[in-house]
Amino acid sequence: MRMIAAKAIVECLKREGVEVIFGYPGGAVLPLYDALYDEKDIKHILVRHEQGAAHAADGYARATGKVGVCIATSGPGATNLVTGITTAYMDSSPIVAITGQVRRDILGKDSFQEADISGITMPITKHNYLVKDPDMLPYIVKEAFYIAKTGRPGPVLIDLPVDVQSTEIDYQPIEKISIRSYRPVYEGNMKQVLKAVEAIKNAEKPVILVGGGCIISGASEEVVALAEKCQIPVVHSLMGKGTIPEEHPLSLGLLGMHGTVAANLAVSECDLLIAVGARFSDRSTGKVSTFARMAHVIHIDIDPAEIGKNVRAHIPIVGDAKRVLRQILENVEPKKHPLWLERVQEWKERHPLRYKEEGEIIKPQKVVETIWRLTNGEAIIVTEVGQNQMWAAQFYKTKYPRQFITSGGLGTMGFGLPASIGVQIGRPDAIVFDIAGDGSIQMNIQELATAVQQRLPIKIAILNNGFLGMVRQWQELFWQRRYSNVQITAPDFVKLADAYGCVGIRVEKSSEIENAIKKSLEVKDRPCIIDFRIAPEEKVLPMVPAGGSIDNMLVD
Render pLDDT for 228-261 as a digit per residue (tens, 0 to 9): 999 999 999 999 999 999 999 999 999 999 999 9
Q: How far apart are CA 218 and CA 240, in angstroms?
A: 11
- From residue 489, alpha-carbon distances to 4, 34, 466, 468, 492 in Å are 51, 42, 7, 10, 10
Q: How far apart are CA 553 and CA 556, in angstroms?
A: 9
**Phi and psi of 531, rounded to 5°?**
-95, 95
Contacts of 108 (CB under 8 A, 6+ apart): none
Q: Please write the tens of the pLDDT for every residue from 445-495.
A: 999 999 999 999 999 999 999 999 999 999 999 999 999 999 999 999 999
Supply the pLDDT for residue 44: 98
Q: Please write the tens of the pLDDT for every residue from 266-285.
A: 999 999 999 999 999 999 99
- Give the architecture (CATH level 2) of 190-350: 3-Layer(aba) Sandwich (3.40)
Instruction: Tell me which H or E stretch contains 284.
Output: helix 282-285
pTM for this predicted structure? 0.97
Helix (H, G, I), strand (E, B) or coil at 123: helix
Q: Is 546 a residue whose pLDDT tops 90?
A: no
Helix (H, G, I), strand (E, B) or coil at 252: strand
Residues of the chain with CATH 3.40.50.1220: 190-350
**Phi and psi of 25, rounded to 5°?**
-75, 165
Q: What is the DSSP string of 201-236?
A: HH-SSEEEEE-HHHHHHT-HHHHHHHHHHHT--EEE
Q: Are 8 and 169 in contact (CB under 8 A)?
A: yes
In the chain, count H helices and then E strands.
22, 20
**Phi and psi of 334, rounded to 5°?**
-60, 150
Q: Is 556 a residue whose pLDDT tops 90?
A: no
Give the E-state strand segments of 287-341 in sequence order: 296-301, 315-318
Residues of the chain with CATH 3.40.50.970: 2-170, 364-533
Supply the pLDDT for residue 429: 97
364-533: CATH topology: Rossmann fold (3.40.50)
Alpha helices, H only, 274-360: 282-285, 321-331, 338-350
Q: How far apart are CA 24 and CA 371, in angstroms?
A: 33
Q: What's the chain's length in residues?
A: 556
Supply the pLDDT for residue 463: 98
Of 207, 483, 217, which Cα lies nearest the Cα of 347? 207
Q: Are 153 and 321 in contact (CB under 8 A)?
A: no
Span 2-170: which CATH code? 3.40.50.970
Q: Please write the tens of the pLDDT for every residue from 171-209.
A: 999 999 999 999 999 999 999 999 999 999 999 999 999
Mean pLDDT of the chain: 97
Instruction: Tell me which H or E stretch contains 331.
Output: helix 321-331
The distance of Cα 480 from the centroid of its chain, to the nearest Å, equals: 33
**Phi and psi of 386, rounded to 5°?**
130, -150
Helix (H, G, I), strand (E, B) or coil at 303: coil
Q: Are 253 and 405 in contact (CB under 8 A)?
A: no
Q: How far apart are CA 555 and CA 542, in angstroms?
A: 4
Q: How far apart are CA 189 and CA 327, in angstroms?
A: 10
Position 402 confidence tier, pLDDT thresholds 50, 70, 90: very high
- From residue 340, alpha-carbon distances to 32, 200, 234, 414 in Å are 60, 14, 13, 42
